[in-house]
């Protein structure tokens, strides 16, 4: 036998690796489409939501604290009023987009 025939027999035949590369490539594409892209889109929406906070907006934090935005600070924080005369300073990243939207939807004050 020639060295080429021996090599083909040892590797499982001609073109044995091509289907494996196609399968792995397909898995990468599916993983990107169903995992990475939606997560990046959600993170982008959450960042835009947090940046658009204004005075008077009703919010819920990720810890479940309900309040109303009193002041948006330049350092990435918000001053919120939790009850009349009671204020907290929180990070914008501590606001739950889902819970805030549900709160505003239930109250009929959802901004579009």
Round to whole Å and give the CA distance between 30 and 80: 42
CA distance 92 to 87: 15
Question: Tens of pLDDT along 52-106?
Answer: 888 999 999 999 999 999 998 889 899 999 999 999 999 998 998 888 888 888 7
The per-residue pLDDT for 104 is 84
pLDDT digits (tens, 9 = 90+) for 17-50: 888 999 999 999 999 999 999 999 998 998 898 8
Question: How many Cβ atoms are within 10 Å of 103's Cβ, its own excluded?
Answer: 16
By the 8 A CB rule, do 62 and 94 touch? yes
Q: What is the pTM (predicted TM-score) of this model? A: 0.61
- Say what the pLDDT of residue 16 is: 64
Residue 101 neighbours by CB under 8 Å, 6+ apart:
110
Query: Does residue 7 or residue 39 have the better pLDDT?
Result: 39
Cα separation, 67 vs 3, whole angstroms: 77
C-alpha to C-alpha distance for 99 and 82, rounded to whole angstroms = 16
Q: Which helix (H) or strand (E) holds 10?
A: helix 3-10
């Amino acid at each position: 036998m020639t060295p080429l025939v021996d090599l083909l027999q040892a590797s499982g035949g001609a073109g044995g690796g091509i289907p494996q590369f196609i399968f792995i490539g397909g898995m990468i594409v599916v993983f990107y489409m169903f995992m990475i892209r939606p997560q990046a889109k959600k993170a982008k929406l959450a960042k835009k939501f947090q940046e658009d906070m204004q005075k008077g907006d009703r919010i819920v934090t990720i810890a479940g604290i309900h309040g109303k935005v009193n002041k948006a600070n330049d350092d990435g924080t918000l001053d919120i009023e939790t009850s009349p005369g009671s204020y907290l300073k929180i990070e914008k990243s501590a606001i739950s987009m889902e819970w805030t939207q549900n709160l505003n939807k239930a109250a009929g004050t959802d901004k579009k």
